[in-house]
Amino acid sequence: MKVKYELIHKDKITGARYGKAIFLDENGQPAKNPDGTLQEYETPMFMPVGTQATVKTLSPEQVKACKPGIILANTYHLWQRPGAEIVAEAGGLHKFMNWHGPILTDSGGYQVFSLATNKKKDITEEGVHFKSELNGAKLFLTPEESIRIQNLLDSDIAMSFDECPPASADYNYLKNSIERTLRWAERGKKVHNNKNQNLFGIVQGGPYEDLRKFSAEKTVAMDFDGYSIGGVANDDECKDDMYKAIEYSVPYLPEDKLRYLMGVGEPVDLVEGVARGVDIFDCVSPTRLARHGNALISGLRRNDKGEPKENRINLKNARFAKDFTPLEDTCDCYACKNYTKAYIHHLMKCDETFGATLLSIHNIRFLIHLCEEMREAIKEDRFADFLYNFYNL
């Protein structure tokens, strides 16, 4: 489905955007869900991640109950298993995984960063050589191959194949890297031939203003269907650098296209991203934290750098053994409406998958609900108040 972004309201003080991602069918008409509802989704939006064509521990129905818009899947993982051709033969990703809402596929660029150590990867102009973490097989991923795979997967939004440099990368490295990423974006765009699929460009440049500007302007000049800000939330990047990266990129992005902050994440980062004009986010954290026993809850805490960080409770902790209250009284998710902390504590202690399922539902719903609150605040021009309350309540 092609996507059209409609900017509906911009917060008067902060510039935070409320809008809609409207998906269109092959005839350019508003696309519909199997139940007849329109495929229109409000932004700001949090997108749950389902790397291997499944949001871990959740059925599509359970994901849907969290009221998401777009969800993610991953090019690299599906290329490895089961293979893009098999997904294509199955009738595309939507049919294969029984998800009828929009799907965005990441390009595999992040995997080059995350799952190959420096010794195992070799980034060249042509593409990236690295070893499979599954079987040690030599792999070679190029911009053309990434786009070819995504074309076959038939996701709604394909991402350009970029290099995701570590936060520790220096200026000169980043400069060369973003220039190569631009050439890769160009090459990917050239071979992209799925008329029903959107292709997004990715802005890189670390925390440097001139690099972000350069990357953003050049990427926008290629005219993608949407734009994302990448290279943030890597290894031990500080929040300040992340926010700078957003601030230095957003001014060069067109108003009428979706803006996607890749890999983010924490409630505080969603809020700060929206304040800077970002529309959509994705992150593995709600589902991973869930599998590790953690529930997101309201409020903030500080990390060891003193930065504000998501508030959460670890349901494995002994103190919840007899806590017969929901994860959060105010939460409307399935887990909170039907189960107690004591029960989820029990499930997690017994390694029962249902515990991870309940916590995943809660955490995803938590972030989506946060987006809902931000949308309401922006619509009513009180996003600044929302921000103030977010930090002070």
Site residues for RNA per CB under 7 A:
49-52, 55-57, 72, 74, 77, 106-107, 109-111, 113-117, 120, 133, 159, 162, 164, 202, 228, 230-234, 239, 262-266, 269, 282-285, 287-289, 291-294, 303, 314, 316-319, 349, 351, 353, 356
- CB atoms under 10 Å from CB of 30, counted, come to 14
Max Cα distance, the chain (Å) = 60
- Cβ of 223: how many Cβ atoms within 10 Å? 11
| CB of 5 vs RNA, minimal distance in Å | 19
Instruction: For residue 242, give every residue at least 6 positions away whose Cβ sits within 8 Å of its Cβ, in sequence order, or none.
Output: 232, 233, 264, 269, 272
CB closer to RNA out of 19 and 263? 263
- Which residues are known to be catalytic? 106, 282
Residue pair 271/240 in contact by the 8 Å Cβ criterion: no
- CB of 133 or CB of 179, closer to RNA: 133
Q: Compute the least distance from the CB of residue 50 to RNA, in Å.
A: 7
Strands (E), the chain: 2-10, 17-24, 40-43, 45-48, 71-74, 103-106, 122-123, 128-131, 138-141, 157-159, 198-203, 226-229, 258-261, 280-283, 294-302, 308-314
**Least distance to RNA, CB of residue 12, Å:** 27
User: Pairing state of beta strands 2-10 and 17-24?
Assistant: antiparallel
Q: Between residues 2 and 346, which has the closer beta carbon with respect to RNA?
A: 346
Locate 346 and state its tokens.
């029990």
Query: CB of residue 349 vs RNA: minimum separation in angstroms?
Result: 5
Q: CB-wise, 39 or 228, nearer to RNA?
A: 228
Closer residue to RNA (CB): 148 or 239: 239
3-state class percentages of the chain: helix first, strand second, coil last, to nearest 5: 40, 20, 40
d(CA 32, CA 53): 21
- Please give the single-letter amino acid code of residue 370: L
When the beta carbons of 31 and 250 are compared against RNA, the nearer one is 250
* Cβ-contact 160, 224 below 8 angstroms: yes
Which of 224, 211, 227, 214 shows the shortest CA–CA distance to 165?
211
Q: How far is the CB of 199 from RNA (least distance, A)?
A: 12
φ, ψ dihedrals at 351, nearest 5°: 55, 35
Give the shortest CB-352-to-RNA separation in angstroms.
Answer: 8
